[in-house]
Amino acid sequence: MNLVKNNVPWIFLLTGTFLIVYLSIPELLLSPNDFLLVSEGDGLKSYYVFDYQLNYQTSFNHFAGLNYPYGDSYLYTDGFPALQSLMQILPFLEYYHVGIIHLTLVLGFFLTTIFLYLILNFYTKSPWISIIGALCIFALQPQFIRLFGHLSLAYSCVIPMGWYFLIRFIHDKNKLKWSFLLFFTNTLWFFTHGYLGLMLTLFLGLVVIFHFKLWKNLRYFIQIMAFLGVPLLLFFLISKWSNSVQDRTSEPFGFFEYQAQWKSVFLPSEGFIHDQIEKCISFTQVNWEGFAYIGLTSLFSLLILLFFSISSFLRQKELTILPKELWFFLISGIVLLIYSFGIPFNQFPSLLDVFGPLKQFRAIGRFAWPFYFVCGIISFISMHWFYINASTKFRKQIALSFILLGSATYFWEASEILFKKRNFSKNAFLIENLSADQREMIEFIQKNKKKYQCILPLPWFHVGSELYGKEPNVKTMGNTLIASAHSGLPLYSCMMGRTSFSQSYDFFRSLGSNFQGKSKSALINEKDFLIWYDYQPLYAEDEQELLDASKLVFKNKMGELRSISSAKIFERKKLDITAIVDAQNQNQADFLFENYDSKNKRLSAKTSNFNTIAHFESGKLKPNQWYEASFDYFWVGKKNLDNVFRIEFVNNEQINWFYERTISSYTDQQKDKVRVRAVFKTQSDTCAYNFFLFGGEKKNTFYQIDNLLIRPLDLSVRWKDDKGQFFINSFPEK
């Protein structure tokens, strides 16, 4: 009888967790291997690298599927490194790898409520408030939305698990057991995702600092260093050991952009309340990386706790609502919250030069997550304290009503996210789930893959170096990742983090015009490249040229597979200098050359402004004609290519953008500048045209442009830059 009674709380807790998961994403429980939580972007990439590594790994720690021919360390792929290592010794489970990822996430959900319950029950000794609190905090937790983006960040059990183990380490005599569990789990989280490990280390480390008796005892101090310092050191050493690249960026983009704000923590990001608040407060600058909304219940509980704290201080009475050590956890959460706001680095950016490694963890808004869990735990402990310490029946009813209303509010606010209608795609890593056309293309690749060294997606993409970058077309990236996973051919494209500058530089220049200089890696062999083209829009200045130079080998309704030799990709052509005219002597209406001699040699502008660099009145550019616009873009400072070149046409006072491309994506990247080259076709109607750059609001960097040339594509001109170098159109004469 006692056994059943003791297990009743666990039955309610696990049943409640099951229902929340089942009602929000039933597929996770009923058919975990049949679908993908996310079928594009970083989420699909995580599935892909996990699958590719299981099937085609070249070494234990090296990933070769992306960034061909170099690949990269597996730790830079966001592909569940710890789980991947386990799967390597269980190869017979490879078919179920998507389901295994999903089931580990489900396990993480159950561990979240279990450890939240254990923490609450440790302080309240009340199973019923602990069950309610654990389910409420779990339902609203900010990591849920990571299921549809960054899968490996969705393990919400990280903070509650580490928190509970630290509580037991502090209070139990047998500290060695809890030291081992802290060491093991902390190491596990570092090798699941670096952010999870660092977040837990900082959160627990700050708490330990306040427990003077712990770290003043030499034996305990050694154990603390073992479970906090050693996992961090292991992660650092293994990252260095597995890293063959020496020129990764030390200035990754996002530290000052991917931050939390008071609005992302204390106000809801969606739902009825959000819609009402948004009528008065703008959320346009709130970044989703900082979403850690604590909920109305926690907000009111903290305000009440603040009121009683001030009152007790003024009356010089001890506040007994919370155990002393919970204040340490609260302070730790607040410190990390302040850090997630970018304080003090926003005010003193030079501090980042002192704390250089912090720059590598650029999405600092995520460090608000511990504060969410601290607020939830403290809220339910406080509500329970007011209930059991109510001196009258009326006050007890008020306290109970607040608990019930507060719990209901948690679920009401969480329902906006939990029960949103979502459509998931089938598991594309199972060949039977693909369309007939997609299977045909992949089967052709499988049969002929010995003829090719890699797949070149068109449109191509490259994300990773933090300087040069071209965002993927969602459809093409998805199709080529799946084709690579089923065939084993790597992609001549990249979607990873902090790739080599030199490798990225060579990649971009390799896909540009054959009139620009190129360097070919010794790892590139003589086999052809296989182009995957699925009828998505191409940039005429480089992608269309690659397509035109290739040979069709397979075609169906979905797309084309085309072959192009590596010699054609990397060849350097000589310029044909016949029929060349001097740019300075051209005065036809549809031609412009500007070297800014009268403006200190270059035109300087601010990235956050709309900067028009050329304008053609209606009728100046001929309809239905091909033109080229080119100029030198000189960059200075951090994230210096974060700008966009756009062309618009004006017809009957209607303005339409018909060409846009980020400066970082042009292929003619050089040491201190980019030679921008845009090939476009004018409209069939007579229109006016504007050429301008705009990088976006709140981007305070400056740039310069020079040698602006806009010409009909069939007109070749010769001009000279400030250094005396002669050019034919967009390329050096020699």
Query: What string of H, E and C letters represents the secondary structure of 25-79?
Result: CCHHHHCCCCEECCCCHHHHHHHHHHHHHHHHCCCCCEECCCCCCCCEEHHHCCC
Q: Detail the DSSP E strand segments found in 219-346.
A: none
Residue 709's region, left for phi above 0, alpha for psi from -120 to 50, else beta, is beta
Q: Which residue has the higher pLDDT, 621 or 575?
A: 621
Backbone angles phi, psi at 203, to 5 degrees: -60, -50
At 463-482, the pLDDT tens digits run 988 888 999 999 999 999 99
CB atoms within 10 A of CB 10: 13
Given this model, what pLDDT does residue 355 score?
Answer: 78
Q: Is the pLDDT of residue 353 over 70?
A: yes
Region 202-209: what's the mean pLDDT? 94
Which residue pairs, CB below 8 angstroms and at least 24 apart, start in 648-657? 648/689, 648/690, 648/692, 649/682, 649/683, 649/687, 649/688, 649/689, 650/618, 650/687, 650/688, 650/689, 650/690, 651/683, 651/685, 651/686, 651/687, 651/688
Given this model, what pLDDT does residue 668 score?
Answer: 93
Coil, strand or helix: which one is 702?
A: strand
Residue closest to 410 by CA, chosen among 49, 65, 16: 16
Given this model, what pLDDT does residue 94 score?
Answer: 85
Given this model, what pLDDT does residue 579 score?
Answer: 61
Q: What is the mean pLDDT of the chain?
A: 91
pTM over 0.95: no
Residue closest to 376 by CA, chosen among 411, 342, 348, 352: 411
Q: Is the pLDDT of residue 384 over 80?
A: yes
At 488-507, the pLDDT tens digits run 999 999 998 888 889 999 99
Q: Is the pLDDT of residue 3 over 70?
A: no
Q: Which residue has the higher pLDDT, 254 or 233?
A: 233
Region 171-175: what's the mean pLDDT? 90
Q: How confident is the model at residue 152 (pLDDT cuts 50, 70, 90)?
A: very high
Given this model, what pLDDT does residue 567 score?
Answer: 93
How far apart CA 196 and CA 160 sit, in angstroms, is 12
How far apart CA 524 and CA 70 sit, in angstroms, is 9
Task: Take residue 185 and report the two structure tokens written for it.
Answer: 């789990």
Residues in Cβ contact with 586 at an 8 Å cutoff, skipping those fewer than 6 apart: 593, 711, 715, 717
How many percent of the chain have pLDDT more than 70?
98
Coil, strand or helix: which one is 432?
A: helix
Given this model, what pLDDT does residue 639 score?
Answer: 61
Which run of H or of E encompasses 605?
strand 603-606
At 23-80, the pLDDT tens digits run 999 999 999 999 999 999 999 999 999 999 999 987 878 899 999 999 999 988 889 9
Region 151-156: what's the mean pLDDT? 94
Given this model, what pLDDT does residue 319 score?
Answer: 74
Residue closest to 25 by CA, chosen among 418, 411, 427: 418
Given this model, what pLDDT does residue 106 score?
Answer: 97
Peptide bond before 323: cis, by omega within 30 degrees of 0?
A: no
Alpha-helix runs per DSSP H in 419-452: 436-448
Q: How far apart are the first and last CA of the chain?
A: 92
Largest CA distance in the chain: 101
Given this model, what pLDDT does residue 511 score?
Answer: 94
Q: Which residue has the higher pLDDT, 281 or 480?
A: 480
Residues in Cβ contact with 484 at an 8 Å cutoff, skipping those fewer than 6 apart: 48, 52, 65, 455, 490, 491
Task: Take residue 88 and report the two structure tokens written for it.
Answer: 């390597």
564 and 550 Cβ atoms separated by less than 8 Å:
yes
Given this model, what pLDDT does residue 277 score?
Answer: 87
Q: Is the pLDDT of residue 578 over 70?
A: no
The two beta strands, 425-426 and 528-533, are: unpaired
Q: Which residue has the higher pLDDT, 6 or 187?
A: 187
Given this model, what pLDDT does residue 435 score?
Answer: 96
Task: Take residue 263 and report the two structure tokens written for it.
Answer: 């609005």
Given this model, what pLDDT does residue 10 score?
Answer: 94
Residue closest to 369 by CA, chosen among 210, 158, 185, 183: 158
> Would you list the DSSP string of 490-516?
PBSSEE-SS--HHHHHHHHHHTS-TTS
- Count the helices and strands in the chain (H runs, E runs): 24, 23
Q: Is the pLDDT of residue 254 over 80?
A: no
Domain-by-domain residue ranges, the chain? Answer: 2-30+90-242+256-418, 434-570, 580-732
Given this model, what pLDDT does residue 554 score?
Answer: 97
Please return the burial class of 690, using the count of CB atoms within 10 Å of its CB with bins 0-12, 13-18 and 19+. middle
Residue closest to 181 by CA, chosen among 111, 101, 244, 245: 111
CA torsion through residues 105, 192, 72, 664, sign:
positive
CA torsion through residues 278, 281, 282, 285, sign:
negative
How far apart CA 76 and CA 608 sit, in angstroms, is 32
Task: Take residue 93 and report the two structure tokens written for it.
Answer: 């489970």
Report helix angle 97-124 to 2-24, nearest 10.
130
Q: Detail the DSSP E strand segments found in 70-227.
A: 72-73
∠ CA 379-383-384, rounded to 5°: 120
At 504-561, the pLDDT tens digits run 999 999 999 988 888 888 899 999 999 999 999 999 999 999 999 999 999 999 999 9
When mean pLDDT is compared across 2-6, 50-54, 433-437, 515-519, the lowest value belongs to: 2-6
At 672-721, the pLDDT tens digits run 899 999 999 999 999 999 999 998 877 778 899 999 999 999 898 888 88
Q: Is the pLDDT of residue 357 over 80?
A: no
At 230-246, the pLDDT tens digits run 999 999 898 888 777 88
CB burial of 401-439 (b: ≥16 within 10 Å; e: otherwise) equals: ebbeebbebbebbbebbbeeeeebeebbbeeebbeeebe
Most confident option among 77-81, 321-325, 436-440 = 436-440
CA torsion through residues 414, 420, 426, 428, sign:
negative
CB atoms within 10 A of CB 484: 26
DSSP-derived letter for residue 683 is -
CA torsion through residues 221, 224, 230, 236, sign:
negative
How far apart CA 77 and CA 75 sit, in angstroms, is 6
Q: Which fold has domain 580-732?
A: Jelly Rolls (2.60.120)
How far apart CA 340 and CA 287 sit, in angstroms, is 12
At 89-144, the pLDDT tens digits run 888 888 899 999 999 999 999 999 999 999 999 999 999 999 999 999 999 999 99
Residue type present at position 116: L
